[in-house]
Amino acid sequence: MEKDQILNYRIVGEGYPVVFLHGFLESNAMWENVLKELPKTQAICIELPGHGASPLLEEQLSLPLITQAVKSTIASLQVQHFSIVGHSLGGYVALHLAEEIDLNIEKVVLLHSHPWADSVSKKADRNRVAKIVNYSKILFLKEAIPSLYHKPERFETQINHLIEEAYKMSEDAITQTLFAMRDREDKSLTLKNLAERALIIQGEFDQLIDAQDMEEITENTGNIYHLIKNIGHMGHDEAQEKVITLLAMLGEQ
């Protein structure tokens, strides 16, 4: 990968700079409603490789390569200091970026994300899902996306929009990202090194992340934990006002 490869991004608002990284199958459109309520934030919304309007990289995706592309994009904007909000996959990238000593990252928000590597069973599940994607992308999307919500029947409009948006991704982009997540390293030590500078926002009924495990590692690493009741993996939709309130604190810096 060329080190200066720049990903698609957009900048919304003025104020304290915050890099927003979306999750798997998403784009920077996921932040639309949240950003309207963050008047003190300059949101730098970057689209990860193969997502939205960002092309795939020349090399097979990995978390280090994705991180390098995001870092190059941030560097091109000459941002001197900033915080990061990462949803799910975006949180994995945020923890990788937190290890870059030449970046002046002040705080990291993991929105429905975690530091652990995939377990053996999770790796096997990624492989299984990749086969489903290659067989029928739409079948995969119609199964995967609703399951991210605790009560999907309440969010049919958002779910249908996400499915339509994700369907624009190529099968190659989806499977490369799946394998990048499958092969990523554990970043628990990175979270520990962020002591008091990481905010974890967790859904009570998130099927992808155990709330109790997340609370325990947050406490053990000296960071800040905030559990939102009665939601799943999509707090920016399921508990929009609460997420906005938490993110607004970044703009108070």
**pLDDT digit of tens for each residue in the chain (253 aa)?**
455 689 999 999 999 999 999 999 999 999 999 999 999 999 999 999 999 999 999 999 999 999 999 999 999 998 989 999 999 999 999 999 999 988 999 999 999 999 999 999 999 999 999 999 999 999 999 999 999 999 999 999 999 999 999 999 999 999 999 999 999 999 999 999 999 999 999 999 999 999 999 999 999 999 999 999 999 999 999 999 999 999 998 866 5
Residue bearing tokens 């009560």? 151
* Segments forming the whole domain that contains residue 57: 9-116+185-252
The domain that holds 65 is classified in CATH as 3.40.50.1820
Residue 2 lies in a domain: no
Residue 140, domain member (yes or no): no
What is the number of structural domains in the chain?
1
Report angle CA 27, 94, 180 to the nearest 5 degrees. 70
- Which tokens hold the place of 202? 């967790």
Give the distance from CA 243 to its chain's centroid: 14
**Of residues 219, 226, 225, the one with CA closest to residue 192:** 219
CA pseudo-torsion sign 149, 150, 153, 157: negative
Question: Which string of b and e fits 144-156 if b means at least 16 CB within 10 Å?
Answer: bbbebbbebeebe
Q: Is residue 226 part of a domain?
A: yes
Give domain status of residue 176, yes or no: no
DSSP string, 181-220: HHTPPP-HHHHHHTTTSEEEEEETT-SSS-HHHHHHHHHH
Tell me if 200 is assigned to some domain. yes
Neighbouring residues of 241: CB distance < 8 A, sequence distance ≥ 6 = none
38 in a structural domain: yes
Q: Give this prediction's pTM.
A: 0.96
Structural domain contains residue 162: no
161 inside domain: no
